[in-house]
Amino acid sequence: MTAPTKLPHSTSGPAGSDSEGVLGEPLHSPVVAWFDEHARDLPWRRPEAGAWGVMVSEFMLQQTPVSRVLPVYEQWLARWPRPADLAGEAPGEAVRAWGRLGYPRRALRLHGAAVAITERHGGDVPSDHAQLLALPGIGEYTAAAVASFAHGQRHAVLDTNVRRVFARAVTGVQYPPNATTAAERRLARALLPQDERTAARWAAASMELGALVCTAKNESCHRCPIASQCAWRQAGKPEHDGPPRRGQTYAGTDRQVRGKLLAVLREAHGPVPQADLDRVWHEPVQRARALDGLVADGLVEPLPGGLYRLPLT
């Protein structure tokens, strides 16, 4: 049996240092080969998707499964095939088209990014990582993902699936911390292949491995290309003993109420009176709190006379 991969004494060297990539060498080939054979055919992975298609998918896929994203993604790209097309519409139209994907502030952020791309970069999604990171609504993960998946660059792309694969295969624990840590970032850099093309492929492959095989529950170790090297498996798959993992409760929460209120506004062709919103939730205090939150987040625009609409500016 192959010994589990060992962490180096330090993984905090600068990007591109000789120590980077060495740790992950036994993992790269089997994971990338597995990906070549088993990767899902997703529209944002096709060459015609371009950088804009990749960016749209990354916004939509945050905390949302692929099955729910696919139809909305296709409709979105058909309507707004370039950032300038979206930038030319009111932000409320982005919220409307977002439908029931959840976390609708992502729609406003994507609209804001489209406006900035149009104004600063002539309507083309930039390839430079720093320029991507400077766009509104773009954080560390999304900038790295777009640079890697759309432009084939060498960046550590750390989503929940990747973090879980690294936690198990290298660190030997069942789950990563609730929030990404500096140690995880150092580990991701240490695992990153030196070759740019291989690094981009590794980023996509390790993410797909976490999505399809090294899942949060009912993991399929018998299908894993690096099962023999997995530190967690070799340790007997010990149960998680860290802080409780955050659940994804929805029923009865303010998030559910916000969704119901937004649904009314999305389906309306004009401003909506308060009475129409009051009908969707029985508890007035929670309903008012949810509506106030939507207004504060810029997702709903209040008008004189107790009317509400999706934002126009």
| pLDDT score for 14 | 35
> Would you say residue 104 has pLDDT above 70?
yes
> Would you say residue 15 has pLDDT above 60?
no
| pLDDT score for 8 | 36
In 3D space, the residue among 3, 2, 34, 28 whose CA is nearest the CA of residue 190 turns out to be: 28
> Would you say residue 21 has pLDDT above 70?
no
| pLDDT score for 251 | 82
> Would you say residue 3 has pLDDT above 80?
no
Percent of the chain with pLDDT over 70: 92
| pLDDT score for 243 | 80
Strand order of the β-sheet with 301-303 is 272-273, 307-309, 301-303
Mean pLDDT of 229-248: 88
Mean pLDDT of 302-312: 96
pLDDT tens-place string over residues 106-147:
999 999 999 999 999 999 999 999 999 999 999 999 999 999
Query: For residue 44, what is the DSSP state?
Result: G
| pLDDT score for 313 | 85
Q: Following DSSP, what letter does each residue of the chain receive, concatenated?
A: -PPPP---S---PPTT-TTTTTTTHHHHHHHHHHHHHH----GGGSGGGHHHHHHHHHHHHTTS-HHHHHHHHHHHHHH-SSHHHHHTS-HHHHHHHHTTSS-THHHHHHHHHHHHHHHHSTTS----HHHHHTSTT--HHHHHHHHHHHH--------HHHHHHHIIIII--SS--SS--HHHHHHHHHHS-SSHHHHHHHHHHHHHHHHHTS-SSS--GGG-TTGGG-HHHHTT-PPP-SSPPPP---TTSHHHHHHHHHHHHHH-SS-EEHHHHHTT-S-HHHHHHHHHHHHHTTS-EEETTTEEE----
Q: Please, which pLDDT band fits residue 248 given cuts at 50, 70 and 90?
A: low
| pLDDT score for 247 | 66
| pLDDT score for 249 | 76
In 3D space, the residue among 80, 107, 109 whose CA is nearest the CA of residue 266 turns out to be: 107
pLDDT tens-place string over residues 163-201:
999 999 999 999 999 999 999 999 999 999 999 999 999
**b/e map 295-309, b = 16+ CB within 10 Å:** eeeebbbeeeeeebb
pLDDT tens-place string over residues 56-92:
999 999 989 999 999 999 999 999 999 999 999 999 9
Catalytic residue set: 58
> Would you say residue 18 has pLDDT above 60?
no
pLDDT tens-place string over residues 38-49:
999 999 999 999
Percent of the chain with pLDDT over 90: 86
| pLDDT score for 183 | 96
Determine the longest span between alpha carbons in the chain, in angstroms: 73
Q: What is the mean pLDDT of the chain?
A: 91
The pTM score is: 0.87
Q: Please, which pLDDT band fits residue 1 given cuts at 50, 70 and 90?
A: very low
Q: Is the Cβ–Cβ distance between 168 and 214 less than 8 Å?
A: yes
Mean pLDDT of 3-18: 38
Tokens 């399929």, residue? 220
Cα end-to-end distance, the chain, whole Å? 61
